[in-house]
Structures are given as C-alpha cells and as structure tokens.
Amino acid sequence: MPAFRSFRDLPVAGKRVLVRVDFNVPIKAGKVGDATRIARAAPTIAALCEAGAKVVLLSHFGRPDGKRVEAMSLRPVVAALEAALGRKVAFAEDCIGASAKAAVDGLAKGDVVLFENLRFHAGEEANDAEFARALAANGDLYVNDAFSCAHRAHASTEAVARILPAAAGANMAAELDALGRALEQPKRPVMAIVGGAKVSTKLDLLGNLVAKVDRLVVGGGMANTFLHAQGTAVGKSLCERDLAATAREILDKAKARGCAVLLPEDAAIAAELKPGVATRIVPISAVPADAMILDIGPATLARLEAAMAECKTLVWNGPVGAFETPPFDAGTTRLARKAAELTRAGALDSVAGGGDTVAALAQAGVGEALSYVSTAGGAFLEWLEGKTLPGVAALAA
C-alpha cells in the first residue's frame, strides 16, 4: 500500500478544504436511518474546523445517473451531520457553479458546508476533467475520508486529488492502517474467513488470499461448490457445479502455497430455508439428496475456533451459514464471538468487512469488539482481491 499524507500535515488554517465523505446512507421519511458513516467522518471534519479550515463536504447519494433527482438530495443528511458535529452545517444547492461558490464564499474559519449530490452531474462518475476542475475551484486543499468510494476513479475521488494538494482523512487513514496490518504486514499465522453464497463473485478474492494467508476458511453456500468439486454430495444445496474445476484449481494453488483450506466436516441441514424448519446435524459425507446445507455443524465450529485461537491475525468477509434465518445463524454467531473474545484478550488482530459480515457481527452483538470493522463494501472486497484502488493511489505521497 502506498505511503500517503495525513490531513494533519496540511496547512489548513483559513483554507478552503474539500473533504470527500461517503454520506450515501439510508434515508426514510426524510431522516437518516443509520448514521454510522456520518459518525466515522465526524472526527476529520471536527479536527479541520478546530484548526480553522473552511470545510466543504463532497458526497454522492444513490444513482441519479447524472440528473437532478430530488428524492436523492443530500439535504436530509444535514440534521444528522449537525448532531454528530455539534455545530451548524450549511447546505449548497449544487456542488459546482454559482450556488456552490456563494456558499463557500460565505464560510468563516471553522464553518462547514455540505454540497449537493455529486452524481447529479454525469461528470462525477465519468471522472471528467472539466467537472473535476469545477469542483477544485471551490477548494485550496483536498482530503479524502471516504475509503468506501476509493475503488472508483470518479472526479471527486481521483481527478480532484491530482489537482489540489491531497491527503487522507482520519477515517481513511484508520482503514488503510487496519488493512495494511491485516494482509501486508500481518502477525502470523493469518486466518481468512470467506463466506457467502457464490464462488463466482469471489474468485479474485480467493485467488489472492491463498497466496497471502496461512488458513483459509470457506463457508456459506460457496463451501458447497468446493465440497462438490472434491466429490462430496451436497444434496439440493446451493452449489455452482460448473465451477468445480475452478474450485479444484484454487485448492491446488492453496496447497502449493502452503495455505490450509478448511471446509465443513459436518453441517446443519434442512429440507428448505425458512424459520422454524426441522433441522439436524449430519457429517458432511452424509447429506441426503433432498436436504440443504445451511450452516456449519458443531464439529466444524470447534475445529475453526481452535484454528482461530492459534492465529494472530484474522480477515473476515462473509457469513459461514444462512445467518439471516435462525437457527442457521449459530455458526457465524459463535465464530464472531470467538473472534471478539480473542481480540479483547489481545491475542488476535481482527479485521472484517462487507455488508453481510457487518450485519452478522452486529447480530452477534460484537460489532464494536473486533479490531476494525470496515463499512466500505466494494472497496474492502477489491482491496482483499489485491486490486489497486484509484482513490488511494491518488493520495500517494
């Protein structure tokens, strides 16, 4: 990961500082439903205000496809942002042009303005140079505090960083530090847990991880494809049978790299996936043709808990069972609590991310107990895949 400058190194007093944040948050009936991303951006904004900067916030919201869509306005975010900061926040009706300039010209030191949705302009997602220059015209310095948007080469994440002196915000820096510790300079042994429904969506991820970690746990529906590839019958479980050869290639690569791949040895099965359905535990070699594998069994859980206890670093993306439907949340919940226990004891550096993973950790009551939980989604996944993130590369010192 490239070295990058911190926003604390910038001479911000009296300067207009463009800050790329991610306020693409759930809004219902005009109110923010989950303010986690706002809360995570607040420390950077507050520090800039206290240092005497004139803070200009840039964010997208939804997919308006380059057109003004009032239902996708960022105006409802202002109240939640003011609550998080404990100060007033102005709102500009556009992110470029006369209204944006007037809003910035009216700022005093320590003031904050939130610009309207960047994606109301097609130039944002096109990474258009002219649009980027129009954004940059309202700033003297640039800070990116939106790792969740760093995998996209958009005008506000990549092009503006090439125009103005650029640095990483506190949230961006924390994310980069956590991810760097987890895979680039980890304490070994390293365990990765990769779950979810389909192998096809995580081929690049699996290919990168087997070259970097010591133990790879494959769970969820994607484990069934690996079991099938090894000749194990998986009944009517979710399984991408056409990817059996690919699964075997991944297993061969893991073996060559000295990475142990841990697959289920027993499972919780049922005739269908629904609450209250009759379930039973069977060895993985004894799944009936009319049953579905929906969670790991107790023997697998014990094996994974023991393996985790022997590791120093954990990277987690995806549940190991159908956690949304009890009782098939049991395996994921127990593993999450074990990771939290080891982290609290100082024995494990644990980094997790991805929408389902964050939801599963919260459901297990340990959302704040791991070393770092990323809300970045696609950017977190692309980092795990070993890809260069344009928004990060643009900050390279």
pLDDT 10s digits, 170-220 = 999 999 998 888 888 899 999 999 998 888 989 999 999 999 999 999 999
pLDDT of residue 2: 63
Share of the chain above pLDDT 70, in %: 99
| Domains of the chain: residue spans and CATH | 7-171 (3.40.50.1260), 186-384 (3.40.50.1260)
Told to judge if 37 belongs to the known catalytic residues of this protein, a careful annotator would answer: yes
Contact 377, 355 (CB under 8 A): yes
Q: CA 225 to CA 219: how far, in whole Å?
A: 10
Told to judge if 318 belongs to the known catalytic residues of this protein, a careful annotator would answer: no
φ/ψ (deg, to 5) at 38: -65, -45
Told to judge if 133 belongs to the known catalytic residues of this protein, a careful annotator would answer: no
Closest CA to 214 of 314, 75, 301: 314
pLDDT of residue 300: 98
Among 15, 20, 37, 152, which one carries the catalytic annotation?
37
**231-235: average pLDDT:** 97
pLDDT of residue 340: 98
pLDDT of residue 54: 98
Closest CA to 374 of 391, 357, 389: 357
3-state DSSP assignment of residue 187:
coil
Told to judge if 303 belongs to the known catalytic residues of this protein, a careful annotator would answer: no
Among 62, 97, 235, 355, which one carries the catalytic annotation?
355
3-state DSSP assignment of residue 305:
helix
Among 5, 87, 181, 198, which one carries the catalytic annotation?
198
Strand order in the sheet with 141-144: 90-92, 112-115, 54-58, 16-20, 141-144, 166-168
